[in-house]
Amino acid sequence: MNDKAEIEENVEIDRTPRSSETRETQEARRPWEPPSLLKTPEPPPGMRYRWIRTEIRGQEDRKNVMQRFREGYEPVKPNEIPELDVPIIDHGKHAGVVGIGGLMLCKIDDSIARERDTYFANKTDNQMNAVDNDLMREEHPAMPITKNRQSRVTFGGGSKAKA
């Protein structure tokens, strides 16, 4: 009985709360990666971000900017991303918005972006159908054309004749 009392006295009890031992409090170290000038912040729900070209070779690209604005893009102001220290355009027509190196960060409503994606997917499909129809019109019965939209990658010479 005396031995048991001595063992209990020598054991230290860890009184740190269990909540401090969770994985959430231990942040994993991210591997090193080269810095990016165009790190796009996480957009708020229901929005998408995109970098828009404002100038090319030192010349203002008004046509591109106006086209994007007509599509529904709007410039992002630094107060919309308070959690990040973002570069700001300090000169010209777009002074005071998030931008760097001739690019401006813009936002668009997610529903407009989906409609835009659908429009261009349909346009691509129509172009592919036009090419297919044009190709099939040139088909000759002696040399039929088949539509095979699969690709494969092979390495090596395949089967070789054995000597």
Rounded mean pLDDT of the chain? Answer: 81
From the DSSP assignment, how many helices (H) and strands (E) are in the chain? Answer: 3, 6
pLDDT at 77: 92
Average pLDDT rounded to a whole number, residues 103-121: 93
In this prediction, residue 9 carries a pLDDT of: 59
Q: How far apart are CA 143 and CA 146, in angstroms?
A: 10
% residues pLDDT > 70 (the chain): 79
Residue bearing tokens 């308070």: 82
pLDDT tens digit string along 127-139?
A: 988 988 888 787 7
CA 78 to chain centre: 20
Domain assignments of the chain as residue spans, ordered by start: 47-108, 110-140
CB burial of 90-129 (b: ≥16 within 10 Å; e: otherwise) equals eeeebeebbbeebbbbbbbeeeebeeeeeeeeeeeeeeee
DSSP H helices, 19-158, are: 62-71, 110-137
